[in-house]
Amino acid sequence: MATHHLPDHFKCPISLEIMSDPVILSSGHTFDRSSIQRWLDAGYRTCPITKLPLPDQPSLIPNHALRSLISNYTLLPPLHQTISQPQTLISTLTSPASSSDSKIDSLRHLTRLSKRDSAFRRHLADSAAVPAVLAAVVDPALQETALPLLLNLTLDDDSKVGLVAEGVVARLVAVLLNAPPDCRAVAATIVTSLSVVEVNKATIGAFPAAIAALVAIIRDGKGRERKEAATALYALCSFPDNRRRAVSCGAVPILLRNVEIGLERCVEVIGVLAKCKEGREQMEGYNGCVQILASVLRNGSSRGIQYALFALTSLCLYSQEMVLLALEEGVLEASIVFVEDDNEKVRRNACNLIRALRGNNSNHDRVE
């Protein structure tokens, strides 16, 4: 949808896209639900606009008035006018007699409808469409059209566990291993969306080749698919068992090489993997690890710096050799700059790293 002619307050302050499901944060500002949920899932507990603190479990209140305004302004017809018989689309999708072209057309209609209507998504998730969508995901003729619909179905938390129980993980792994790059990127995004639910992180991580497939994309992929795979791996590795799985798949050297060539999302994963002994051992054994992380301190974004500080702290707390390497690289001087940073996590992580480098570790704060 073209957005340049629409009022700015119709656009999410995070994604800058027209909101399909506007919700109000306790700060009083409105965001698209998927965008603010990603912000919260990443661990932030401040309003993205005001920077004021939020509760541990922030409420997201539907902004029905704004949603109605957006629908009227963009002349989106009500669902019952768009399609009087949604069951017809589902029947076309599930029928063995339907042609590939008719199935593609049905998938496109269902994707458009489900993107802007959570009630319709719930209807789809509870219908016979789910097995047909999962079958389409691994059909080379249909998967490019089916994956965006599957992504829409994962937007609601109630559907995330159900989709995993229906067998979505096996289909996603098949796509991650064998599909074209654009399809792999969407499949990785779906893994991230499913991983919002804690139990799904365990289920997906334990599935054979799931984590290995993401690591392989980070190693061999290009552009968007690498970034999405790194994001999915980060989401999965908040579950401790998955950190060890990622390390055993050779993730650490692959991630560090990608950090070195500028894919900063990978430093976030390195920060999480540094929480486990196996991850730290791999980092200590990688020639140039400290130099790569030190480079992020000098040239990275605020979020990249946060995780580079965290990884360096983890390494230095457990290894005097890492402390010496970090001091040689000027990490202490670089960290002191961040003691008064605007980002509270950067400040805290910088203070923890300085203490680790100076050998005063007995009362260090939890780093993150």
Query: What mean pLDDT is reported for the chain?
Result: 88
C-alpha span between 270 and 265 (Å, rounded): 9
In this structure, are residues 341 and 294 in contact, taking their beta carbons and an 8 Å threshold? Answer: no
pLDDT of 81 higher than 60: no
Using 50, 70 and 90 to split pLDDT, how confident is the model at 113?
confident
At residue 91 the predicted structure's pLDDT band, cuts being 50, 70 and 90, is confident
Q: Could you tell me whether strands 30-32 and 61-62 are parallel, antiparallel, or unpaired per DSSP bridges?
A: unpaired
- When mean pLDDT is compared across 2-16, 195-209, 293-307, the lowest value belongs to 2-16
For the beta carbon of residue 24, count every other beta carbon within 10 angstroms: 17
Residue the block writes with tokens 């689309």: 89
Residue matched to tokens 């690498």: 226
Domains of the chain: 9-75 (3.30.40.10)
- Tell whether the model's pLDDT for residue 119 goes beyond 80: yes
Count CB atoms within 10 A of the CB of residue 201. 21
- Per-residue pLDDT tens for 131-158? 999 999 999 999 999 999 999 999 888 8
HEC string for 48-66: CCCCCECCCCCCCEECHHH
CA 247-250-256 angle, to 5 degrees, is 90
Residue 236 in tokens? 């999965």
Does 62 or 2 have the greater pLDDT score? 62
The pLDDT of residue 72:
65
pLDDT of the residue at 271: 96
Percentage of the chain surpassing pLDDT 90? 61
Provide the sign of the torsion angle of the four alpha carbons 78, 79, 85, 88, taken in this order.
positive
Confidence of residue 82 (pLDDT cuts 50, 70, 90): very low
- Quote the CA–CA distance of 193 and 151 in Å, as a whole number: 8
- pLDDT 10s digits, 12-48: 999 888 888 888 888 788 899 889 998 988 888 999 9
227 in Cβ contact with 263 (< 8 Å): yes
Provide the token pair at 314. 């983890």
